Structure 1
Amino acid sequence: MNWLIKWHMRHWTTIPYSTYCKAYNQWGGSFITHPEVIQGISELLEIPVMFQGRYEDDKLVAAVPTWGNYIAGSKTALKKLGKRGLIDVGNPEVILPMSPNIRIVLPYKSDFISGEHQPQIINLKNKGKALCLAKGFHSDGFSKKFKYNHRREIRLFQNEGGEFKPINSIAVDQLCAIYLELFEKRWGFSAKGSALMSKVLDKLYTFLTGNILYIADEPIAIQLVYQVETVNHLSVEYVNGGVNPAYKNHSPGSILSFTNIQQAQEFADSKNKPLRYSFGLADNDYKLRWCNKSPVFLT
């Protein structure tokens, strides 16, 4: 850590979990920085999590969860701490609880910091990376043709006995088994974090959203999607999924993506909040059918 970062750290002090929760409720954040999410992940990985706050004129203006010198949840931190691959929470967008009017140096390392922080964090670095955020169902989102084609797929699927079941209507153990089986069928190898998957799903169960597709009581497609509502927006992370290739003629992956985004959009609209539905890193062309690129930064 260089002298400049050390100099800026003098403005930060350790704060209790309850104070971090208040900051998150006041200024918002994202899925990975939600107090219960980062606390639960830290417990599972046996990484001590600390909460740091920055004060100006004796008033808290920013709060961050940390693993040592890193923002908690950072993929770089997981690698440095020897925990990489133990869990899969995708490449989540990092939005931190901060007063909208501040201009500060963030003295902790992180990747995938949202462009929403450009007006606030001075030392952001752009390495050309971007996340894919779903276009959504508003006038500037999916085209009429796109929506028509996918709704037609859904009708054909249902006409042939296809069903949707809410993911959070399935018990954790069964849900874990379905995900691991369908992931391996789709990709031909085991899901990352399979050993801890049941515990992760148990910790994050209340944040799961979306559906599982069934035909004749057999699960054929699943996506792990986590959702948190913040004061500013609805933050949704599509982590990964699995599909039984035997049913590829039904386009189950596309059906699931469409209906899961639609469900999230309807909820966001009911709360009169923007939807930030992330497909993770912009590393695959297929995502651009569903998403727009949104730049992310590191410190």
Structure 2
Amino acid sequence: MLSYLRAWRERGWAPIDAVTYAQAWQRFGGSVATHPLVVERLAGLAGIDVRYLGWFAQGELQGAMPTWGRHLALSKDVLKQQGKRGLFDLGNAEIILPLAAEVRLAVRHKARYLSALNAEQVLGRREQPEGLALAREPEEYSKKFRYNQRREQRLLEEAGGVIRPMLELSASEQALIYADLFQRRWGFEATGKAHLAEVFSLMRDFMTGSLIYLNDQPVAIQVLYRVEAPQWVSLEYINGGVDPQNREFSPGSVLSFINTQTAWAEAREIGKPLRYSFGRADREYKDRWCNRVPVYQV
């Protein structure tokens, strides 16, 4: 029965190796959650083997995907089933599968937050009730909004605020600060707290952004992962933490402004569009920074 179900799910697909999958990603593009090294490293941490599948037409590879059973690889549902819930946190990351632009194919593995970039290529997908929050381009913010953000940044810096790149810190330092500020901000522990240092170490090649100190103490941090595909840049804002005692300086808002502005500048410098995802469009503050865009599930 299990082999029959797998044969049905994989109809039209064929097993490929990790190298071939990586070649497909580098050719057709993808997102943080489908990047070959992200998949390999986080699946390795979880101890769950990845089955890579390819879609061929006239003998040419036209698409690929990494799978865990009947789900796409790195699925929260599979982690939960395996007793590894919350081992790592990718938020509600945008899923961009490496697919040729002209291909039309069926995906029968479970996936949520499938990108609008794949909507025309994947048959049978359906739009999710909730959208995805993608950061607006800098010019889309009003002049007043940009003025206020720069003013808040100036006031913070005049009060002793210092902006530091995340990569100045070791993975263990990042983990300690993030766990502390997340707990202060939300009142509960960060997902995967016990494994944060290991995850941040594995994801270091993709980590970007800054954090803010005030009077030599960290007051705002955001976990951002960035990958560069051939046609675009994919950046995931996973989560963040803020010290609520410094709310008058709005360090969380200042950090969002700094990180988004920097990411747009870097993407424009290399001439690629930026897909800066805040995950599910489920909170009012995301509407300040983002446009809601359709997202799909299969």
**CA drift at 1:216:** 2.1
Structure 2 residue 27 is matched with structure 1 residue 36: no
| Structure 1 position 19 matched with structure 2 position 16 | no
One-letter code aligned to 2:256? S
Q: Secondary structure at the match of 2:157?
A: helix
Paired position in structure 2 for 1:243: 242
Partner of 1:273: 272
What SS class does the counterpart of residue 146 from structure 1 fall into? Answer: helix
Instruction: Determine the C-alpha separation between the residues in 2 that align with 1:241 and 1:36.
Output: 23
d(CA) in 1 for partners of 2:77, 2:131: 16
Structure 1 gap ranges (5+): none
Q: Distance in 1 between matches of 2:175 and 2:148?
A: 31
Distance in 2, matches of 1:226 and 1:40, equals 14
| Within-5 A mapping of 1:1-299 | 6-7=7-8, 9-138=10-139, 141-299=140-298
Q: Would the alpha carbon gap of residues 28 and 122 (structure 1) be closer, same or farther in structure 2, given more than 3 Å must change?
A: same
Q: Distance in 2 between matches of 1:125 and 1:240?
A: 27
Aligned equivalents of 1:124, 1:84: Cα separation in 2: 26
TM superposition shift of 1:8: 6.3
Paired letter, 1:79 = K
**Secondary structure at 1:198 match in 2:** helix
| Separation in 1, partners of 2:9, 2:186 | 45
Q: TM-score scaled to structure 1, two decimals? A: 0.95
**Aligned partners of 1:66, 1:261: CA distance in 2, in Å?**
31
* CA apart distance, 1:73: 2.1
Q: Deviations over 1:194-253 (max 9, x none)?
A: 011111000001111111101122111101011111111111111111111111111000
Tell me how far apart the structure 2 counterparts of residues 8 and 176 of structure 1 sit (CA, whole Å). 39
Partner amino acid, structure 2, of 1:155 = R
TM-score by length of 2: 0.95
Unaligned runs of 5+ in 2: none
Shift of the 271–158 alpha-carbon distance from structure 1 to 2, 3 Å rule, reads same
- 1:45 deviation in Å? 1.0
Q: Once superposed, what is the RMSD of the aligned Cα atoms? A: 1.7
Kindly indicate whether the alpha-carbon contact (under 8 Å) linking 1:16 and 1:51 is maintained by their aligned counterparts in 2. yes
* Counterpart AA for 2:93: P
Task: For 2:186 and 2:9, locate their aligned partners in 1 and report how far apart those are by CA, in whole Å.
Answer: 45
Q: CA deviation at 1:130?
A: 1.0
Structure 2 counterpart of 1:191, one-letter code: A
Conserved 8 A contact 1:74-1:111 = no
Q: Is the 2:128–2:294 Cα contact (8 Å) retained in structure 1?
A: no
Alignment check: 8 A CA contact 2:9 2:109 kept: no
Deviations 1:159-218 (A, max 9, x none): 111110000111111111111111111112211110111110000011111111011221
Which residue identity is paired with 1:87? F
For 2:40, what is the secondary structure of its paired residue?
Answer: helix
Name the amino acid aligned to 1:77: V
How far apart, CA to CA, are the structure 1 residues paired with 2:136 and 2:118?
21
| Count of matched residue pairs | 297
Which whole-Å CA distance do the structure 2 matches of 1:126 and 1:5 have between them? 25
Would the aligned equivalents of 1:55 and 1:62 in 2 still touch at CA under 8 Å? yes
- The C-alpha deviation readout for 1:21-74, integer Å capped at 9, x for no partner, is 111110100000000101111011111112110111110000101111211123
* Bigger shift: residues 201-210 or 119-128: 119-128
Q: What one-letter code is carried by the residue in structure 2 that aligns with 1:10?
A: R
Shift in Å at residue 263 of structure 1?
Answer: 0.7
Question: What SS class does the counterpart of residue 214 from structure 1 fall into?
Answer: strand
